[in-house]
Amino acid sequence: MPPFEAGSVWLVGAGPGDAGLLTLYAYEALRQADVLVYDALVGQDILELTGPDTILEYAGKRGGKPSPKQNDITERLIALAREGKKVLRLKGGDPYIFGRGGEEALTLAAHNVPFRVIPGISSGVGGLAYAGIPLTHRETNSAVTFLTGHDASGKIPNVNWDHIAKGSPVIVVYMGVKHIRSISERLIRYGRNKSESVAIIFKATTEDQKVVITTLETAADDLNKSKLKPPALIVIGDVVKLRPELDWYGKFLALGAKG
């Protein structure tokens, strides 16, 4: 394992939720860090892997709720590193997949703060696997699009919906619950079948995981009926149809519920 040098920052992905999906690098960073600056989606079981003297600082950002500004978080990382601390910046999923890790790394580089990036299993990969949905399958798709459900201002992203609708057989939407109706309407408008299979995965890879199977036309209404709340992933495409045979984790949870 590489040494966790004093005065440096490690940007680490915690994975989608299940602590068993941490990398060995992430586990070692948790054990060695002087200060842990962590996101809202990092579970308590992961936080408990820190060393006895590690200081925990919450820096979670959740849509629609009061949260630290990104500049304040990055400045805090720089200040801690300049104090000679081993600083662990822990993010849900992967730091570079809709995790603002690139922004933080660029600022650290601009201030000459040494850093290392430790990838994590993105929820768009691990969450699908735990929901019984393969991200790719030779009989359904040879391409995937990862899409954020909102831009930096919180609005629906300004992307080429025509190309996405026509060009990607499988679409995985992060943070898309708020705009699910608008996203569905745009995809249908540009040619997606309104009966296309959709899965909405809540709290992926955790014991509280729930999956709603629906269609592009009814996804927004079925989401409202479910009463379930984010964090959630939206998966659109024929790979969703493979879930009945591949839902290994759902069967595992059902057995656990029965004792």
**58 bridge partner residues:** 38
- The rounded distance, in Å, linking the Cα atoms of 188 and 220 is 13
Please report the beta strands in the chain, taking only residues with DSSP state E, as ranges in sequence order. Answer: 8-13, 35-38, 55-58, 86-91, 115-118, 144-148, 170-174, 197-202, 210-215, 232-236
- The rounded distance, in Å, linking the Cα atoms of 30 and 88 is 7
- The rounded distance, in Å, linking the Cα atoms of 35 and 87 is 5
**174 bridge partner residues:** 148, 233
User: In 3-state terms, what secondary structure has residue 2?
Assistant: coil
- The rounded distance, in Å, linking the Cα atoms of 94 and 161 is 25
Q: Which of 18, 39, 86, 203 is catalytic?
A: 39
- The rounded distance, in Å, linking the Cα atoms of 61 and 147 is 19
CB 105 within 8 Å of CB 115:
yes
> Of the candidates 122, 125, 166, 173, which has an alpha carbon nearest to the alpha carbon of residue 15?
122
Q: Which of 85, 86, 94, 175 is catalytic?
A: 175
> Of the candidates 133, 132, 143, 137, which has an alpha carbon nearest to the alpha carbon of residue 170?
143
Q: Which of 34, 61, 178, 247 is catalytic?
A: 61
Q: Is 1 a catalytic residue?
A: no
Q: So which residues are the catalytic ones?
A: 39, 61, 175
